[in-house]
Amino acid sequence: MLVLGIETSCDETSVAILEDGRRILVNLVYSQADLHARYGGVVPEAASRDHLRKLPALALEALAQAGVSWGDLGLVGVTYGPGLIGPLLVGVSYAAGVALARGIPLVGVNHLAAHLFALRLRDPPVEPPFLGLIVSGGHTLLVAVSQWGEYRVVGGTRDDAAGEALDKFGRLLGLPYPAGPHIDALAQEGDPQRIPFPRPMLESGLDMSFAGLKTAAVYWLREHPGAPLPDLCASFLEAVVEVLVEKALRAAKRFQLRRIVVAGGVAANRRLREAFPARAAERGVEVFFPPPELCTDNAATVAACAHHRYTVLGRSDPLSLAPDANLPLHGWR
110 binds ligand KG4 (CB under 6 A): no
| Helix (H/G/I), strand (E/B), else coil: 31 | strand
10 binds ligand KG4 (CB under 6 A): yes
Would you give the distance in Å from CA 231 to the centre of its chain?
26
Q: Tell me the pairing of strands 286-288 and 259-263.
A: parallel
275 binds ligand KG4 (CB under 6 A): no
| Helix (H/G/I), strand (E/B), else coil: 305 | helix
Taking a C-beta distance cutoff of 8 angstroms, is the pair 2, 73 a contact?
yes
User: What CA–CA distance (Å, rounded) separates 66 from 83?
Assistant: 28
12 binds Zn ion (CB under 5 A): no
Q: For residue 86, how many other CB atoms are within 10 A of its CB? A: 18
184 binds ligand KG4 (CB under 6 A): yes
Amino acid at 115: H
Is the CB of 66 or the CB of 134 nearer to ligand KG4? 134
- What's the chain's length in residues? 333
Is the CB of 115 or the CB of 168 nearer to Zn ion? 115
Q: How many residues bind ligand KG4 (CB under 6 A)?
A: 19
136 binds ligand KG4 (CB under 6 A): yes
Residue 157 interface partner, choices ligand KG4, Zn ion, none, CB cut-off 5-8 Å depending on type: none
What minimum distance in Å lies between the beta carbon of 115 and Zn ion? 6
Residue from 8, 13, 32, 136 touching Zn ion (CB under 5 A): that is 136
| Helix (H/G/I), strand (E/B), else coil: 133 | strand
Which 8-state DSSP code applies to residue 175?
P
From 101-109, 134-142, 216-224, 309-317, give the range in contact with Zn ion by CB under 5 A.
134-142
Q: Which of residues 156-175 bind ligand KG4 (CB under 6 A)?
A: 163, 166-167
Pick from 50, 149, 19, 82: nearest CA to 297:
82
Pick from 17, 24, 90, 89: nearest CA to 60:
17
What minimum distance in Å lies between the beta carbon of 276 and ligand KG4? 13
Residues that bind Zn ion (CB under 5 A): 136, 297
Residues that bind ligand KG4 (CB under 6 A): 10, 136-138, 163, 166-167, 178-181, 184, 264-266, 268-269, 296-297
